[in-house]
A and B are shown apart, each in its own frame.
Chain A
Amino acid sequence: MNFTLKIWRQKDAHSKGEFKEYQVKDISSDTSFLEMLDILNNDLVHKGEEPVAFDHDCREGICGMCSLHINGHAHGPSQAVTTCQIYMRQFKDGQTIVVEPWRSAAFPVIKDLVVNRGAYDQILQAGGFISVRTNSVPDGNAIPIAKADADESMDAAACVGCGACAATCKNGSAMLFVAARVSSLAKLPQGRVEGARRAKAMVAKMDELGFGNCTNTGACQAECPKSISIAHIARLNREFLCAKLED
């Protein structure tokens, strides 16, 4: 298969970026989207040009590193997968494909398609944890947890922290990301103890870092590679409201 690629090139955070056009040829339909970019990059290196910088690592949809906007969709045209799980068989031979980095004020571009998602780490550092010390814990079976609650906690915990939610949201809101963590811990008795403090601290940090507000458009849920439900946002709102009422 052959493709025309329009790729965002930007030297560094301070430079102005632009789209550049590239041709790739003889791509197997079983080749992944990122492998197709590898092939382009190998060609560029042979020509002495700088390859396209993009984030990726595990290439099996779990590390959350890959982060491309492909033809206007975070993580490309398929539902419920990350960029690294897109295969060229999903495109038409000869198609033009537009590749951009995440576009969000809170995720500045580092180079080409690579952005800085440090803000997500900072939100979790503000309170996305349970304060237990190593070795200061009861037996694993001491606290029975209803299977349904454990399952729902796991649904939320599946978030890979890729940033697609904030990059997709027209308000640049990180609510789905924050909600996934808050909700995952709120469904477990271990997480209840610090529930109020956690919700307030994480929301405050999110606001401080320049993420926008949630207006319930649901775009985040549609583009989330792990199909995290916006029902978790409702739970976050409840947690946050109850915490504020206690103040």
Chain B
Amino acid sequence: MALKLDSKIPAGELAQKWSNHKAAIKVVSPANKRKLDIIVVGTGLGGASAAASLGELGYNVKIFCIQDSPRRAHSIAAQGGINAAKNYQNDNDSVYRLFYDTIKGGDYRAREANVYRLAEVSNLIIDQCVAQGVPFAREYGGLLANRSFGGAQVSRTFYARGQTGQQLLLGAYAALNKEIHNGSVKSYTRHEMLDIVIEDGEARGIIARNLVTGEIERHGAHAVVIATGGYGNVFFLSTNAMASNGSAAFQCYRKGAGFANPCFTQIHPTCIPVHGTQQSKLTLMSESLRNDGRIWVPKKLEDVEALRKGTKKPSDIAEEERDYYLERRYPAFGNLVPRDVASRAAKERCDAGYGVNETGLAVFLDFKTAIERLGKKVIEQRYGNLFDMYKEITDVNPYEQPMQIFPAVHYTMGGIWVDYNLMTTIPGLYAIGEANFSDHGANRLGASALMQGLADGYFVLPYTIGDYLAKKIQAPKVSTATPAFDEAEKGVKEKIEKLLSINGSRSVDDIHRQLGLIMWDNVGMARTKESLEKAIVEIAALRKEFWKDVKVVGTADSFNVELEKALRLADFLELGELMARDALNREESCGGHFRSEHQTEEGEALRHDDKFAYASVWEYKGMDVEPELTKEPLDYEFTHRAQRNYKD
């Protein structure tokens, strides 16, 4: 049975859709809100802002996170900024322009209505965060400052030094603390959701593991919100935090929620290159650096050789011997092309032999021109903490020598399928922020992840969830003493026991590292039919090996990090295959998904709108069974789908 997909996109003019929808959906009275329980899983920008806003409205909210405090969610690590269509710079920005840039940046693979709503509420987010005390950067006149990000020709990015994600999350976390103080939200830290409970086809609650005691707990609610971020750690090496995982989303998929566009992965162009084999994660250098940094490799291969041997320093290479390849290929946007374009261009130069370090997998990001133009002090003010971080990691001073950068896995545009209300294919189950698939199409623009997380949590979900909960006002408290909870709990316990009993020869990290290599080599920046078919076979074999030969030490009823990692890896081993299958199905290139067979003569992504103008929504059929594909057509009523052009 194929999934029934009703996107519930309201009729009418693009700019009126959200207003019309808000007017049409039901609301729940304050007296009834008090009777309704909501579970929010994840405390990043999406989860924290949603839980705080729902608590304010009067619902009873429980919020769960795997870290020791809600403030540690990985939203905290976002550096560069958050977009909004304020037009404070008077550079002709508008809601429409932000909408258009986002749709185009996503290579026309997102829903017009969702993206327009995102642009529309973007301005409210800035107001909200300022009122919460987020110390955004300001000009001398006391007003808010902006900078530019990739894929835009206006300055619409608000920022707090290089720590915008941290400050926005501390704002949302403060709002959450206010509601915890008021008693409307109860916080469960060091708790991990291990299953979603479905009864009569509706979400009824979750099974969670207390990570300190190992106890398996049941939590019931009238609605469940998944806000657990992306699944980039399937690649082992990524810019995600070590514990970021796709497991909560995957349990929803396993229980019947559609999973959309899993192959849409963002490879971020400016990360510190991989060194050696002992590395555990990759570090991002903010996209904001491309405001002033210029990306280049030498024009001559003998200069590349000299750099690798150390006989020449980057500063020895004359201006006319440098290939500023982004400025050369994309004159209109230059160094500020979108991430997918910048990453592919770096790969193209490195594949051609121009990579500037020993591994051949690095390009320069150079601030020489900017320091000459603005002075070291201004650069220090703008990027000081990023420069310090670079120096800590690499032992190279970026004020004197250019940074070396290379693309790395950063964000997943794919995720749980949701309708316009952010509800999944399972009634009462919602997904927000990076965990859903809705707004970024095949490529996300910089400074838009923070925007989407907070848009969903503060300004969309608190309204749309009422439309569902209005039907639940007569429903009693959800009982957790039911067969559905029994079965879910039993499944979780059996899985844990199985993992602990295998006692094989390979550690969780060993297998995860191997999965990451398969993914990077075959489902990474460039994909082919052959590489994807190879990946599917290899991942299936590795998954078998995992379930036969993994070694998980420790016990179920204690603080056991190895067990946590094993549970997450078990899901990555299925998610990786799903990503490869989705990439194999999509015989076109779009955004971050580049099929080498489908490119223009100039090496740009070549879409096939006649065949692939849809979101791929997958339905789980079993661990070693092919999932079933349902297509959600993406109709473009208001914008013309064109070949993306960042040249002129």
Cβ-defined contact, B67 with A65, below 8 A:
yes
Q: For the complex, is A217 an interface residue (Cβ under 8 Å from B)?
A: no
Cβ-defined contact, A35 with B177, below 8 A:
no
Chain A residues with Cβ below 8 Å from B209 are none
Output the least CB separation between B187 and chain A (Å): 7
Chain A residues with Cβ below 8 Å from B76 are 58, 62-64
Cβ-defined contact, A63 with B181, below 8 A:
no
A212 CA to B415 CA, complexed, in Å: 47
Cβ-defined contact, B241 with A63, below 8 A:
yes
Cβ-defined contact, B507 with A89, below 8 A:
no
Q: For the complex, is A114 an interface residue (Cβ under 8 Å from B)?
A: yes
Our pick among B142, B143, B284, B395 for the contact of A89 (Cβ within 8 Å) is B395
Our pick among B67, B130, B242 for the contact of A140 (Cβ within 8 Å) is B130
Q: For the complex, is A61 an interface residue (Cβ under 8 Å from B)?
A: yes
Cβ-defined contact, A134 with B174, below 8 A:
no
Output the least CB separation between B432 and chain A (Å): 14
A145 CA to B160 CA, complexed, in Å: 14
Given A48-B551, A87-B392, A133 contacting B135 (CB threshold 8 A): no
Which chain B residue has the least Cβ–Cβ distance from A144?
A: B142
Given A63-B74, A129-B178, A134-B462, A145 contacting B138 (CB threshold 8 A): yes
The B61-106 residues at the A interface (CB cut-off 8 A) are: 67-72, 74, 76-77, 86, 88
Q: For the complex, is B533 an interface residue (Cβ under 8 Å from A)?
A: no
Cβ-defined contact, A118 with B124, below 8 A:
no
Our pick among B132, B161, B174, B278 for the contact of A124 (Cβ within 8 Å) is B174
Which of A93-101, A149-157, A169-177, A233-241 lies on the face that meets chain B?
A149-157
Our pick among A124, A134, A185 for the contact of B56 (Cβ within 8 Å) is A134
A121 CA to B551 CA, complexed, in Å: 35
Cβ-defined contact, B163 with A158, below 8 A:
yes
Chain B CB count within 10 A is highest, among A30, A31, A62, for: A62
Output the least CB separation between A82 and chain B (Å): 10
Cβ-defined contact, B53 with A134, below 8 A:
yes
Q: For the complex, is B127 an interface residue (Cβ under 8 Å from A)?
A: yes
Q: For the complex, is A130 an interface residue (Cβ under 8 Å from B)?
A: yes
A157 CA to B164 CA, complexed, in Å: 11
The A174-217 residues at the B interface (CB cut-off 8 A) are: 184-185, 188, 190-191
Cβ-defined contact, B69 with A161, below 8 A:
yes
Chain A residues with Cβ below 8 Å from B167 are 154, 157
Cβ-defined contact, A35 with B280, below 8 A:
yes
A59 CA to B241 CA, complexed, in Å: 7
Which of B304-312, B401-409, B557-565 lies on the face that meets chain A?
B557-565
Cβ-defined contact, A154 with B135, below 8 A:
yes
Chain A residues with Cβ below 8 Å from B166 are 62, 157-158, 160
Our pick among B77, B180, B510 for the contact of A125 (Cβ within 8 Å) is B180
Cβ-defined contact, A50 with B553, below 8 A:
yes
A87 CA to B389 CA, complexed, in Å: 12
Q: For the complex, is B212 an interface residue (Cβ under 8 Å from A)?
A: yes
Q: For the complex, is B281 an interface residue (Cβ under 8 Å from A)?
A: yes
Output the least CB separation between B504 and chain A (Å): 11
Chain A residues with Cβ below 8 Å from B284 are 60
Given A51-B553, A118-B68, A147-B142, A191 contacting B280 (CB threshold 8 A): no
Q: For the complex, is A85 an interface residue (Cβ under 8 Å from B)?
A: yes
Given A60-B389, A63-B241, A190-B133, A137 contacting B128 (CB threshold 8 A): yes
Interface residues in B, total, Cβ within 8 A: 81
Output the least CB separation between B185 and chain A (Å): 10
Our pick among A38, A133, A150 for the contact of B136 (Cβ within 8 Å) is A150
Cβ-defined contact, A138 with B69, below 8 A:
no
Our pick among A36, A110, A118 for the contact of B559 (Cβ within 8 Å) is A110
The A80-126 residues at the B interface (CB cut-off 8 A) are: 81, 85, 87, 89, 110-111, 114, 116-118, 120-121, 124-126
Q: For the complex, is B275 an interface residue (Cβ under 8 Å from A)?
A: yes
The B594-629 residues at the A interface (CB cut-off 8 A) are: none
Output the least CB separation between A100 and chain B (Å): 17
Cβ-defined contact, A139 with B133, below 8 A:
no
Chain B residues with Cβ below 8 Å from A141 are 86, 88, 143-144
Cβ-defined contact, A135 with B458, below 8 A:
yes
A86 CA to B133 CA, complexed, in Å: 32
Cβ-defined contact, A137 with B131, below 8 A:
yes
Our pick among A36, A51, A124 for the contact of B561 (Cβ within 8 Å) is A51
Cβ-defined contact, B72 with A63, below 8 A:
yes
Q: For the complex, is B224 an interface residue (Cβ under 8 Å from A)?
A: no
Cβ-defined contact, A58 with B554, below 8 A:
no
Which chain B residue has the least Cβ–Cβ distance from A112?
A: B559
Cβ-defined contact, A157 with B130, below 8 A:
no
Cβ-defined contact, B278 with A27, below 8 A:
yes
Given A42-B510, A50-B554, A62 contacting B137 (CB threshold 8 A): no
Our pick among B88, B124, B139, B551 for the contact of A45 (Cβ within 8 Å) is B551
Given A12-B559, A117-B68, A145-B142, A153 contacting B135 (CB threshold 8 A): yes
Residue pairs across A and B with Cβ atoms less than 8 A apart, 18 shown, are A12-B558, A36-B278, A38-B509, A48-B551, A51-B553, A58-B242, A59-B241, A60-B389, A85-B393, A110-B212, A125-B180, A129-B181, A132-B131, A134-B56, A137-B130, A147-B139, A157-B170, A188-B135
Q: Which 6 A-B pairs have the closest CB atoms?
A: A144-B142, A137-B131, A129-B174, A154-B135, A153-B135, A140-B130
Task: Give 16 A-B pairs besides A62-B77, A129-B175, A150-B135 with Cβ atoms closer than 8 angstroms.
Answer: A28-B278, A34-B280, A46-B505, A48-B551, A50-B553, A65-B72, A117-B69, A121-B69, A121-B189, A129-B177, A134-B53, A138-B127, A140-B86, A140-B126, A154-B135, A188-B135
Q: Which B residues are within 8 Å of any A CB, using their own CB? A: 49, 52-53, 56, 67-72, 74, 76-77, 86, 88, 124, 126-133, 135-144, 160-161, 163, 165-167, 170, 173-175, 177-178, 180-181, 187, 189, 212, 241-243, 275-276, 278-281, 283-284, 389, 392-393, 395, 458-459, 462, 505, 507-510, 551, 553-554, 558-559, 561-562
